[in-house]
Amino acid sequence: MRFRFIAVEKAHHTVTTLCRCLQVTPSGFYAWQRRPESTRAKDDRRLKVLIAASFIGGRGYYGRPRVHDDLREAKERVSRKRIIRLMQADGLKARVRKRYKVTTDSDHDHPMADNLLQQSFTAERPNQRWVSDTTQLVIGEGDKLYLAVVLDLFSRLVVGWAVSACNDRHLTINALEAALKRRCPEVGLLHHSDQGSTYASEDYQRLLARRGIVCSMSRRGNCYDCEHDGVAVRPGLTPAYE
């Protein structure tokens, strides 16, 4: 280990000075440099390539357990401690996944609509079925914004959206009004959302009723009622915009 340190630092200090500080002999250092690379060192270099490939394939989220699983699937017999050592040597540290922030407030006294969509995330024509959702966006060092969108299930295009620093009924109403202005749907359109207070509010429901839109809401705590092929709004999974 000391000889490796000397090999790195000799560009800045003389070998004699470094050897004296580390209490080794210059002859020992030069003998170490001439020594052929050991079998284990060669195998370490080979494993580092495989570890880096697994780490990059996991977009930087893979830690020791996932990398170890990948190497085992590749029929590589290597210990967990060795993987940790090699990852630390190359500065590979797994990124921490941010916990998903719940933006739905279902604890309210507003009336709930039945689930008329029934996980049928298709439509035969434009403006037949819309779905709406809201997500939180983190900006910079911790500032937060909320994004509400309305998506047409026929084309999977976002037909209306709005951004605000507050997750309130005004945000979802602005997104819906943008979609209505852009599409001008006929009476009978089915609008599906979760049971959040922003969608169940009197103002939002009044707007739906005024335009002859049928309201549908998912069951409480069931993400599959609002999520299918990227229909639900999540950072990185938002469908194409119209």
- Mean pLDDT, rounded, for 1-19: 82
**Position 109 in a domain:** yes
Q: According to the model, what pLDDT value does residue 102 have?
A: 58
In the predicted model, is pLDDT for residue 154 greater than 90? yes
Higher pLDDT, 53 or 226: 53
Same domain (yes/no): 107, 82: no
Structural domain boundaries, residue 234 = 101-242
Same domain (yes/no): 141, 166: yes
Count of structural domains, the chain: 2
Same domain (yes/no): 233, 147: yes
Same domain (yes/no): 194, 80: no
Same domain (yes/no): 130, 152: yes
**Position 95 in a domain:** no
> Is residue 201 within 8 Å of 110, Cβ to Cβ?
yes
pLDDT tier, 107 (very low <50, low <70, confident <90, very high otherwise):
low
Higher pLDDT, 120 or 176: 176
For position 235, which CATH number holds? 3.30.420.10
pLDDT tier, 205 (very low <50, low <70, confident <90, very high otherwise):
very high
**Position 96 in a domain:** no
Q: Kindly state the tokens that stand for 150.
A: 């309305």
Which DSSP category does 123 fall into?
Answer: -
Q: Helix, strand, or coil here: 12?
A: coil
Q: According to the model, what pLDDT value does residue 109 have?
A: 65
Predicted model pTM: 0.52
Same domain (yes/no): 114, 63: no
Q: What percent of the chain has pLDDT over 90?
A: 41
pLDDT tier, 182 (very low <50, low <70, confident <90, very high otherwise):
very high
Q: According to the model, what pLDDT value does residue 103 have?
A: 57
Same domain (yes/no): 55, 139: no
Q: Kindly state the tokens that stand for 125.
A: 């024509």
Distance of CA 136 to the CA centre of its chain: 12
In the predicted model, is pLDDT for residue 233 greater than 90? no
115-133, pLDDT tens digit by residue? 999 888 889 999 999 999 9
Q: How far apart are CA 227 and CA 117, in angstroms?
A: 12
Same domain (yes/no): 79, 177: no
> Is residue 117 within 8 Å of 224, Cβ to Cβ?
no
Same domain (yes/no): 160, 197: yes
Same domain (yes/no): 107, 74: no
- Mean pLDDT, rounded, for 111-118: 87
**Position 79 in a domain:** yes
Tell me which residue of 43, 32, 42, 45 sits closest to 1, measured CA to CA: 32
Q: How far apart are CA 3 and CA 86, in angstroms?
A: 19
Could you say which of 55, 89, 123 is where a domain stops? 89
